[in-house]
């Protein structure tokens, strides 16, 4: 193995239930201590600070971010799943904290990495490789990825799960949610238990690399022959439930496409939006994680490499049919059909005041106008998108929450919001109307 001493001295992932509970408890105690000190000082100056103002100081935000990033796992991912409603359910400060956790996690040190590989691949695992790079090419909340060369000449990427992550999911979610409630970051009247249950289920699935291996293979089959995409091939002999090996795709981050020509940026955005519609309406199998790191550009061919299928979900025909109705309503500007579909999806309902429901429909109408735009819709320079953003911000200012939508529509919303942000970053121009027509006509 090549030597890389920088990964000999990292902070290990806490893998025991008690050590993870202690880390979360220590975080809560540290934040509480800061609140008491800051609050006493401000009261002494005659101020009457709100609790949220005391909790959300730069010092506390940094403390929370650093600790959750060190723990990885569910502790790091929970907020991302809770905030996948684009900030409407939770305070924007929480979304800001969790956005900082989407960057690469701190990798585990070499000794811990080798312990995992020995446990999963056997004590003689080194004999199967010419080398395994100690420096990960990616490190996220569930595991980290290393490039390796096998003794039979295969160039592979190996995703290694952090130890203890799978068995700590339920307790991590419950403990972090408790800390967030105590801090006041989650409104006390809001019942987020359905979302917490969905988060646990999703994280258990993401931690099962055997399941991800099946979806990796399935997506490879589904896009086979489509020259726009490449999916790594599973290396089953090097994979277990906690180690996932696949062929290495020599590629660049999709963010590098920002420097490409307008035509290339348009091509990439259109291909990903088209694929997302195929996933929902044709495959009924959707990779729901919108992290841009899951898309890369193959260096030799320009194909889009599709990575990370841990968050893949299947959707039943009833939900897909409701989504199709919603798109039909967008295409025809049918407000009544839109209202029916939104209620059927659980995004509004009887508990929502009529004036708020009307504002939701107004927001949908703005988005629909963008989708109906004749010719290429310009993500970088379209007044409808500016209006949509401003109206969404105004709607989110109402902190009264009347219902918690079901998890499945939120996962889809998270997926399409991520694609929108990527197309915006690429300053892409995409003929959305034609794309939607094609998929609706095929129904």
Residues belonging to the active site? 289
Which residues fall within 8 angstroms of residue 352, CB to CB, at 6 or more apart?
360, 402, 403
| Positive or negative: CA dihedral 115, 120, 124, 129 | negative
Distance, CA of 298 to CA of 290 (rounded, Å): 19
Structure tokens of 281?
């309406």
Contact 165, 207 (CB under 8 A): yes
Contact 419, 274 (CB under 8 A): no
Q: How many CB atoms lie within 10 A of CB 405?
A: 19
Give the start-end residues of each E strand in 164-298. Answer: 229-230, 243-247, 251-253, 285-287, 295-298
Distance, CA of 208 to CA of 57 (rounded, Å): 37
Nearest to 247 by CA among 261, 260, 236: 236
Query: Between helices 432-441 and 317-332, what is the axis angle to 10°?
Result: 130
Unique residue bearing structure tokens 């701190």: 106
Q: Phi and psi of 180, rounded to 5°?
A: -65, -40
DSSP string, 143-155: EEEEEEEETTS-E
DSSP string, 390-437: HHHHHHHT---------HHHHHHHHHHHHHHHHHHHHT-EE-HHHHHH
Q: How many CB atoms lie within 10 A of CB 92?
A: 13
285-287 and 312-314 as β-strands: parallel, antiparallel, unpaired?
A: antiparallel
Encode 343-363: b = buried (16+ Cβ within 10 Å), e = exposed: bbbbbbeeebeeeebebbbeb
Structure tokens of 43?
């009261």
Q: How many CB atoms lie within 10 A of CB 224?
A: 9
Distance, CA of 328 to CA of 338 (rounded, Å): 8
């Amino acid at each position: 193995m090549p030597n890389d001493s920088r990964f000999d001295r990292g902070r290990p992932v806490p893998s025991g239930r008690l050590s993870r509970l202690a880390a979360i408890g220590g975080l809560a105690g540290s934040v509480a201590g800061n609140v008491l000190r800051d609050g006493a000082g401000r009261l002494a100056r005659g101020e009457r600070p709100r609790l949220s103002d005391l909790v959300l100081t730069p010092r506390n935000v940094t403390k929370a971010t650093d600790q959750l990033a060190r723990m990885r796992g569910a502790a790091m991912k929970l907020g991302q799943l809770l905030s996948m409603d684009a900030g409407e359910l939770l305070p924007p400060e929480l979304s800001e904290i969790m956005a900082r956790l989407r960057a690469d996690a701190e990798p585990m040190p070499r000794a811990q990495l080798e312990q995992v590989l020995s446990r999963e691949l056997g004590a003689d695992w080194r004999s199967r490789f010419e080398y395994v790079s100690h420096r990960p090419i990616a490190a996220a909340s569930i595991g980290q990825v290393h490039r390796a060369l096998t003794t039979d000449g295969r160039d592979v990427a190996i995703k290694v799960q952090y130890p203890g992550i799978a068995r700590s999911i339920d307790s991590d979610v419950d403990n972090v949610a408790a800390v967030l409630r105590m801090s006041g970051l989650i409104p006390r009247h809001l019942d987020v238990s359905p979302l917490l249950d969905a988060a646990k289920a999703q994280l258990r699935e993401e931690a099962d690399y055997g399941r991800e291996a099946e979806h990796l293979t399935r997506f490879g089959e589904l896009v086979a022959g489509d020259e726009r995409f490449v999916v790594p091939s599973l290396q089953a002999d090097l994979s277990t439930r906690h180690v996932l090996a696949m062929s290495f795709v020599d590629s660049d981050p999709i963010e590098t496409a920002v420097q490409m020509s307008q035509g290339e940026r348009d091509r990439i955005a259109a291909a990903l939006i088209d694929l997302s519609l195929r996933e929902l309406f044709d495959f009924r199998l959707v990779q729901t994680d919108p992290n841009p790191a899951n898309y890369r550009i193959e260096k030799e061919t320009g194909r889009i490499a599709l990575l990370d299928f841990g968050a893949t979900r299947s959707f039943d025909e009833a939900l897909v049919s409701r989504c199709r109705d919603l798109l039909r309503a967008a295409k025809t500007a049918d407000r009544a059909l839109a209202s029916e579909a939104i209620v059927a999806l659980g995004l509004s309902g009887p508990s929502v005041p009529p004036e708020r429901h009307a504002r939701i429909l107004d927001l949908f109408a703005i988005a629909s106008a963008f989708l109906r735009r004749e010719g290429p819709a310009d993500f970088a320079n379209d007044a409808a998108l500016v209006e949509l953003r401003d109206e969404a911000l105004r709607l989110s200012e109402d902190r009264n929450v009347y219902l918690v939508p079901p998890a499945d529509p939120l996962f889809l919303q998270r997926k399409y919001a991520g694609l929108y942000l990527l197309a915006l970053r690429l300053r892409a121009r995409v003929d959305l109307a034609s794309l939607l027509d094609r998929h609706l006509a095929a129904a």
